[in-house]
Amino acid sequence: MALSDEALEPSTRSVLRRLSIFPAKPSSFDEQAAIAVSGGTGQELDRLVDAGLLEPSGRGRYAMHRTISDYSRTRADAAAPVRPMVEHFVRLAESNSDRFKTLNPEIQNILAALRLAHESGLDEEFVNGANALYPYLEANGLLVEADQLLTQAVEALGERTLTRLNAGRAAQRLGKLEQAEQHFQVAAKAEGDAAAVCAARLGLGATAYARGQHARAEAHYLQGLSLAKESRLRQREAALLTNLGILAVSQGELAQAEDRFAEALAHARAEGDRALLGPILTNLGVIAARNRQFESASGYFEEAVEMARADGNRRVMAFLYTNMGALAHDQGHKARAEREFDSALSLSREMGDSQRMSHVLASLGALATARREFDTAESYLSEGLNRARAANLKENEVLLLINSAEMQRELEKPDQERTLLLAAHRLAEEIGHERYRGITSERLERA
């Protein structure tokens, strides 16, 4: 390695030193980034490849072996180009914030650049990059990374409303509801920024909903919706209407929920808000399936799937697999339902999404119970309950308790069945979930 290094021209050797700032193989970087960060030329990159010190890694991309990276970075003449690295990848994140497939091959480089920015006191660049990257991190379930970045961003420049909103969203999705509420409360005080206040009301409502405080959640949503209408903020209207629709579903008001989702869909289509279109279409599909309108449900799901795949939105894909599994089950296609649920579970595990995992585990537990595979059902349901409780996901907890009670019924253990149904009923009443309250009441009478 030393012989190869010493054989280089001084300018090429300098390029090698500067390239060692990139994460080592298996990560890679493109030629544009290599030149921007190292200050070198395409010809110098070719010389490094010829010398075996840089590896081609796909079309127009390069990678550096960890040993070579460590060697180059520790030489006395090495000078890390921190600012060029930070500036290049923060700009990349900002200009492609909603282009997840563009960011996919660069994610390790962007995260490395943000770490460097934070360590080097480049607060402005760090906070800008963290906020720009948040939609990608959320869509791919990288919530732990998002939470860490946004917490650091709040510490660096906590007065920024966008940072508070994103930090609140990350904390909420991780089940850190008190922390999320604190961030949203700060953002709700933003003066002269109606869009931010609407987003904060949305976040406060979602946090209250996760706690089972449905009346409080509705109050936040309606307050935000009033401001959004007054300020003609159609995207905010669509988001708030969507959450009001979800709340209506939990209260058993399917007609009202459908009206909310339909209005939200019109706004989202008019604004071209693809991030919101997927969840709205999925929820409309859920209502259609509940009404036994299976063809309509399939249409909604298919449109949402096509969009989520095109956008590379893994979080929405997991949501869709779950609901397509439920649709297949309702149609009597149990094998297909299990395949869809397995896909949802696999994707949710990759993302570490406890909310989605616990919901899918409830469905898989019910399928295993129906097949009388009780050991498998117990494994799914126990894991689901543990995850739901750890993340304070009360609605999912009720569903898991109901499905666990059904397993006990099949095992002919009426005492255990009744105990679980009573726990589910109390929790359903606590959170005001009318559909689950009705299910538990009916089954308690039967038990």
Domain containing residue 11: CATH number: 1.10.10.10
Sign (positive or negative) of CA dihedral 208, 147, 353, 136 = positive
Tokens found for residue 115: 């770490």
How many structural domains comprise the chain? Answer: 1
Tokens found for residue 33: 């980034």
Residue 238 counted as domain residue: no
Tokens found for residue 259: 């009206």
> Is the overall model pTM greater than 0.75, yes or no?
yes
H/E element holding 63? strand 61-63
Residue 359 counted as domain residue: no
Residue 257 counted as domain residue: no
pLDDT attached to residue 77? 56
* Angle made by CA atoms 264, 247, 326, in degrees to the nearest 5: 85
pLDDT attached to residue 275? 85
Taking only the tens place, the pLDDT of each residue in 370-410 is 999 999 999 999 999 999 998 888 889 999 999 999 999 99
153: helix, strand or coil: helix
pLDDT attached to residue 1? 67
Q: For a pLDDT cut of 90, what percent of the chain falls above it?
A: 73
Backbone angles phi, psi at 29, to 5 degrees: -145, 155
Residue 20 counted as domain residue: yes
Rounded Cα gap, residues 171 and 144, in angstroms? 9
Taking only the tens place, the pLDDT of each residue in 158-208 is 789 999 999 999 999 888 899 999 999 999 999 899 999 999 999 999 999
Per the structure, the complete domain to which residue 20 belongs is given by 2-80
Whether residue 26 has a cis bond before it, omega within 30° of 0: yes
Taking only the tens place, the pLDDT of each residue in 252-279 is 899 999 999 999 999 999 998 888 999 9
Residue 15 counted as domain residue: yes
Residue 166 counted as domain residue: no
Q: Is the pLDDT of residue 76 over 80?
A: no
Tokens found for residue 368: 């295993």
Contact, 110 vs 100, CB < 8 A? no
Residue 52 counted as domain residue: yes
The chain-wide mean pLDDT, for the chain, equals 92
pLDDT attached to residue 5? 64
Mean pLDDT along residues 16-24: 92
Q: Which residues pair with 56 in a beta bridge?
A: 62
User: Could you tell me the CA-to-CA distances from 176 to 168, 211, 393 in Å, in that order?
Assistant: 9, 11, 11
